Amino acid sequence: MQPEPTAELRHRTVEAPAGRLHLVEQGTGPLVLLVHGFPESWYSWRRQLPALAAAGHRAVAIDVRGYGRSSKPEATDAYRMLDLVEDNVAVVRALGEESAVVVGHDWGSNIAAASALLHPEVFRAVGLLSVPYTPPGGPRPTDIFGQLGGPEQEFYVSYFQEPGRAEAEIEPDIRGWLAGFYAALSADTMPARGEPDPHFVTRGGGRLRDRFPAGSLPAWLSEDDLDVYAGEFERTGITGALNRYRTMDRDWEDLAPHRGAPIKQPSLFIGGAQDASTTWMSDAIDAYPTTLPALSASHLLDGCGHWIQQERPEEVNHLLTDWLATLQGPTRHGC
């Protein structure tokens, strides 16, 4: 059972380097900033906002730049990681706070990690969902992903690189595409272990959606939920979201001075045991004693896919609130 809300959800926009950032907040107390991934919005945290508020926190879920009601800069390089980190800092300041715990899912996990790495004076702890932390460095990202599809297939990250290409597939039927993408990464609708993961590659110049699983929506996603997500992208388009993938090599250059750097603040990781992100990146999880030396705990939820805080909200809420209770909350400033 979900806790009763302590206050109504409050929508507002704040000034940020992006121009305008939309956020939704609930509760009072130490600030917890929630950062969504692809292809989602603040709504991905709808189950966490009341739970964190009931536990005595000021929970704030943002629309990342390019998503929802936040500004959508035109330039591709406006979606660099450095810019997204500065957006997070601006939100904390605009809310009248000096520091926050930052929690991210999917791309939001990478954004949260980079925020903690680059601004430890602002982000006093970091929670990572689904995508493990890997320090900056290593081979150039597009070189890595370009090798994953094989000679006759193309990995989805590579497929997203060319401006306009993925848009031509997605935007004529955003609702149907989102339903297939969400299903492909959900524990109850993804292919059985040992079978190909159809959403990760295109075949013979085809489309990603040609290999999405057919059938019903995953259990966590209602028709009404899908309407919310689709409505946001039908209004804003998908380009801003895809531009995050198109700046990965630039991030690699920007973050080169932090090559191999650990995150030293208190941290938490929660992943799904059936999520490809945790199986592909199992070495990153194994390296946590070095890369996350102040890690409180690392959890893999059995029978859970990628959309972890939506597939298993009660477990995730319990793990988050228990972890947050171990952190020393700052004196609150502002309103």
What positions carry a catalytic annotation? Answer: 106, 306
Residue with tokens 């947050």: 324
Q: Give the sign of the dihedral formed by CA 217, CA 220, CA 226, CA 232.
A: negative
Structure tokens at 70: 């936040």
- Cα torsion angle, 126, 313, 71, 177, sign: positive
CA angle 52, 54, 59 (to 5 degrees): 35
The identity of residue 65, as a single letter, is: R
Beta strands in the chain (DSSP E): 10-16, 19-26, 31-35, 58-62, 100-105, 123-129, 153-155, 201-203, 267-272, 295-301
CA distance 227 to 312: 21
Strand order in the sheet with 100-105: 10-16, 19-26, 58-62, 31-35, 100-105, 123-129, 267-272, 295-301
> Rounded CA gap, 8 and 1, in Å?
18
30 and 101 in contact (C-beta within 8 Å)?
yes
Q: Which residue has the tokens 């992208």?
A: 233
